[in-house]
Structure 1
Amino acid sequence: MPAFETIRSDLSAVSNTRFTIILGDITELAVNAIVNAANSSLLGGGGVDGAIHRAAGPELVAECRTLNGCKTGQAKITRGYRLPAKHVIHTVGPVWNGGGRGEDDLLASCYRNSLGLAMDHDLKTIAFPAISTGVYRFPAEPAATIATRTAVAESVSGDFDEIIFCCFGDEMAALYDRLLPMALARI
C-alpha cells in the first residue's frame, strides 16, 4: 500500500495539467521527478533532503558531488537511483529572514527553475515538497501561496501531465487544499 493519501486532484482548464495534493512521503512517489528541498552543498541534510538521500542510496551523493553545489533559487537534476522517481531535481530554498531579503522571489525561482529543468528533460510528472518551510523557517501560508501560484503559472504551456504538492503533515495539506483552487482561479 502506498505511503500517501490524495487530498485533492484538480485539472487546470487552461493547461490540462492535473494538480494534486498528497499527504505522505515524497520518496514513495513513482513520478518522473521529485524535487529535493536541498542545502547548497547538495550532499544531504535533514528533513526531506535527508529522507531523499537515504531512500536514493549512496549513488545520489556521488552524483551530487559532481554538481559543485547549487545557489539559492537555482536547481540541478540527478538520477533517482533507488527511488521510484526517475529523477531528483535539487533546489535550494531561501532561509527566512523576515521577508526583506528577497525571500519571496527566491522561493518562486525555486519552483520556476525546477519546472524549467523538468521541461528541458521532458519530465511530465513532478512532485514538490513544501520548500523552505522546515528548518529554513519560511512561513507556511506565504510559501504555499508562492508554490501554488508559480506552479500554476508555469503550467500554462501544457508541458506537464501532473504537478503534485506532497505535504508531510495534515496542516500543510489543508493549507494547500485551501490555496490551490485560488491559484487555479487566477489563470
Structure 2
Amino acid sequence: MTAIIQKCTVEDLQELQKISIETFTDTFQEQNSPEHLQAYLEKAYYLEKLEEELANPLSHFFFIYSGQELAGYLKINTGSAQTEEMDEDTLEIERIYVRTKFHKHGLGRQLMQKAIDFALQSGKQKIWLGVWEENENAIGFYQKKGFVQIGTHSFFMGDDEQVDLIMAKNLS
C-alpha cells in the first residue's frame, strides 16, 4: 500500500491526541508503572497542550497514512521550540511513532525521510532527537540512519527520572 504523509492542523487535534496516547502507551507500558505512564500521558497529551503545540509556528506535526488508515505521526521542532538548547542550524525530531500493526512496513523510515527533507529545505545542517536508553529497537533504527550519540538528558515518566540518549546526524 502507498503511504501518504500530510501536515496536521488544529482540525486534527482529537485524532492527534488519540494516536499520541495509543503509540506512546504501546511503546512504553511494558517497562513503566501504570501510575508513571498515566501521569506522563495526562501531562504531555492533554488537548490544550497539543493545541498549543500545533499552533506554534516552530513546531510541525505530520500524519502518515497507510491506505486510508492513520498509521503514525511525526513532530519536529526548530528554533526555540526544540526541547534542548541547540544551534539555529538544527532541527529536532521530538516524536516519531508508528502504530504497532504498521511496524516493519517502512513507515518509520518514511517519517524520518520527511524530517530530513524538511530540515534540508529549511537550511538546517543537523537533526537530533532524544531516545530512551532502554529502547534498543529505536536506538538501532537511528544508528542505521546515521545518528550518533552526542549526550544525554533527563526524561520524566511521571516522577520517575529516566535517561534519554541525545543522538544527532549531520546532513551536510
In terms of fraction of residues, the more strand-rich structure is: 2
Whose helix fraction is larger, Structure 1's or Structure 2's?
Answer: 2
Q: Same fold (TM over 0.5)?
A: no
Give TM-score scaled by structure 2 length. Answer: 0.42
